[in-house]
Structure 1
């Protein structure tokens, strides 16, 4: 058997693919890599093949399948052993296939339409301005992540979801403990108790948030008397886990990247109308979720290769998003071409991220406001000394010291 690249690999630069992945580019559109336990899985690196497979019903997202390929031993242990509640949350939407997934996704779609998200722009701007006011008041230098990049998306998301302002800290703490596995059982029980009370309050005083929509949907189908609090917790916690963490990371890493590309940043400051396009180019180039996991549940013939039933399939987004057959200058930051939205940073097909409209608009407003209000914003430490690390397949800056 030929030697393969170990997957995943750490990046040496937060906005460049891991150097060891470059050999996979030469084998595009698909190759094989080796996981921590020696298991060989398929690595998809070409955009067209990735899109074909991501809409193929023979490619499964079912994390309860015993053949599911785990990226890390900690994830394998979580699935195998004690944290079945965590698994139940994860499989509430992204970890199921077919009719069950379609029904749950359909329930959420109206809450994340572009029209609805655009209607939130004034509120998002208010949240961004308030957080930036506080950051400026506290003075420079500061760590941009806790001061701005992290709190903005979570506040926006909780507002959309319908979590009352006074409960944000509680929900954030319990969600983190649950997802991280620290005291997960107790956090799960706390969330269930909280959600049951919130459902009762929403019944008495309905509003116009996502939770209200979900309750109204149950009412329309005659189930309002027996609302599944566990399913609602699953939905909300999953949105929190998949939403604010990734968007906050994108805001911080985008700010870092733009500060490393002063000519591009000057363009955005001179013409703020470029920011929506720039957001997609940053999503493409940064590719913070470095891989999407799937499992083949039947044999698949593609590009002269057979992916066998039971094979793990990983979509390496940092390479797919730099497919030179799609992007003329795949390794450079450039929003002056027509392929900026040709990326899979939000996935593709049935499991494409529901919150992508919210993420785009939040990033656009946060980054535009940050750089317009702080024209002197700059790093407060040498770029090479700013720590970062991949966390469960996501690229994360540990801190981002800035001044102005």
Structure 2
């Protein structure tokens, strides 16, 4: 089955290309061209990969409704799915990321096997350990040479160590899984490079699952081994779930740590709100605003309509691709007044940085807790922290599916 993109509706402007580049002058803001989409309403067409014209959803309310709509599918093999990479090579570079690419009920069945590890109660019990890690990595950075790369010294190792301990993955292998994860989330890697990286991680996790079947430990992969023995999942499924959790557990949080720190270094009044308080509620509120403002999933959440859906005066036809642009929903002025202003006292809990509906990020309690620990600890312990380079010299991840920084040289 193939689908033919519908022609633009009468009276609509020329269909813009997607994705569009961010402005180097405003690297923390969404692309100006994408911001302009909102001027034409909360739902509009964009052109992506040749003649493909999926729907782009920019409105907060519309996104929230669609993310919870079971008539939208996350399965990337469906005709019409708006691939984040060139679909002419989709199968050569496709990766199996477990339940993230599945619809219910299979999605829900597999997700339940790991969701218990990410409850707020379980995550809060880890807070002292994450605090100890943070202090240890800062000690090492302070004892080392200046300038230091905050990405390599702090932002990348802490979430990598946290998720390694949760899964039961040896942290000494972090360079291997970080390098392969980087290829998987690259927007410019070749299909073969992405496929090779995924195969490397899947093989690595499969070997590790095999060892834990013989010698289980007190970790999440060992818990999945119990599901294998009960016939609930296969060894391959356990390994691909491990790939998903290992990748998602460090890539996103690492980028939020470095990008959020750089943003705060540009807003000293806001930085002081975090540095000078010992009130956990203030820190929690500040972290939510940083998540809203930065929205590091910057190429959208992607779906395919399985049935016709009416939204904002438009009909999304069965087979149409849909791109839900969270970074624009998080700048919707009807929900967030003065959305381009960073305000760490703002109540931003309605943001969609973690998505919504059945596919909201399973690890969001962990990510929140890590950020609540790391930002204030770093800013209190190194109050003179500053970026070495101007913004235009800092390597932003314009070339990745997850936005962030390749490096952040800092001194103090």
Query: What secondary structure sits across from 1:295 in the alignment?
Result: strand
Check conservation: 1:14, 1:395, Cα contact below 8 A: no
Of 197-206 and 253-262, the range deviating more from structure 2: 197-206
Aligned pair 1:390/2:398, yes or no? yes
1:195-206 → structure 2 map (5 Å cutoff): 195-206=205-216
What is the TM-score normalised by the length of structure 1?
0.90
Q: Deviations over 1:300-347 (max 9, x none)?
A: 112221111111111111110011111122111113233x11111111
Equivalent residue, structure 2, for 1:35: 48
Equivalent residue, structure 2, for 1:328: 337
Equivalent residue, structure 2, for 1:216: 226
Check conservation: 2:306, 2:319, Cα contact below 8 A: yes
Quick one: which of 235, 246, 261 aligns to 2:241?
Answer: 235
Aligned pair 1:207/2:244, yes or no? no
Query: What secondary structure sits across from 1:93 in the alignment?
Result: helix
Quick one: which of 20, 35, 40 aligns to 1:22?
Answer: 35
Query: What secondary structure sits across from 2:336 in the alignment?
Result: coil
Distance in 1 (alpha carbons) for counterparts of 2:83 and 2:17 = 13
Q: Does the C-alpha gap of structure 1 residues 129 and 393 become closer, same or farther in structure 2, counting only changes over 3 Å? A: same
Q: Deviations over 1:233-262 (max 9, x none)?
A: 211111222231111111000000000110
Of 304-313 and 5-14, the range deviating more from structure 2: 5-14
Distance in 1 (alpha carbons) for counterparts of 2:196 and 2:269 = 50
Equivalent residue, structure 2, for 1:350: 358
Quick one: which of 290, 296, 301 aligns to 2:305?
Answer: 296
Equivalent residue, structure 2, for 1:46: 59
Quick one: which of 11, 23, 46 aligns to 2:22?
Answer: 11
Query: What secondary structure sits across from 2:131 in the alignment?
Result: helix
Equivalent residue, structure 1, for 2:129: 123
Q: Does the C-alpha gap of structure 1 residues 72 and 174 become closer, same or farther in structure 2, counting only changes over 3 Å? A: closer
Check conservation: 1:195, 1:229, Cα contact below 8 A: no
1:220-369 → structure 2 map (5 Å cutoff): 222-223=230-231, 228-273=234-279, 274-290=282-298, 291-338=300-347, 340-369=348-377
Check conservation: 1:177, 1:187, Cα contact below 8 A: yes
Query: What secondary structure sits across from 1:390 in the alignment?
Result: coil
* CA deviation after TM superposition for structure 1 residue 165, in Å: 3.3
Check conservation: 1:54, 1:348, Cα contact below 8 A: yes
Query: What secondary structure sits across from 2:34 in the alignment?
Result: helix
Check conservation: 2:289, 2:346, Cα contact below 8 A: no
Equivalent residue, structure 1, for 2:3: none
Higher helix proportion: 1
Distance in 1 (alpha carbons) for counterparts of 2:134 and 2:51 = 46
Aligned pair 1:140/2:150, yes or no? no
Q: Deviations over 1:7-48 (max 9, x none)?
A: 111211221111112321212321121113132111111111
Distance in 2 (alpha carbons) for counterparts of 1:156 and 1:362 = 9
* CA deviation after TM superposition for structure 1 residue 176, in Å: 5.0
Distance in 1 (alpha carbons) for counterparts of 2:55 and 2:199 = 38
* CA deviation after TM superposition for structure 1 residue 207, in Å: 2.8
Q: Deviations over 1:336-391 (max 9, x none)?
A: 233x1111111110110111111111112111111111010011122232231323
- 5+ residue gaps, structure 2: 1-7
* CA deviation after TM superposition for structure 1 residue 204, in Å: 4.5
Distance in 1 (alpha carbons) for counterparts of 2:199 and 2:56 = 38
- 5+ residue gaps, structure 1: none
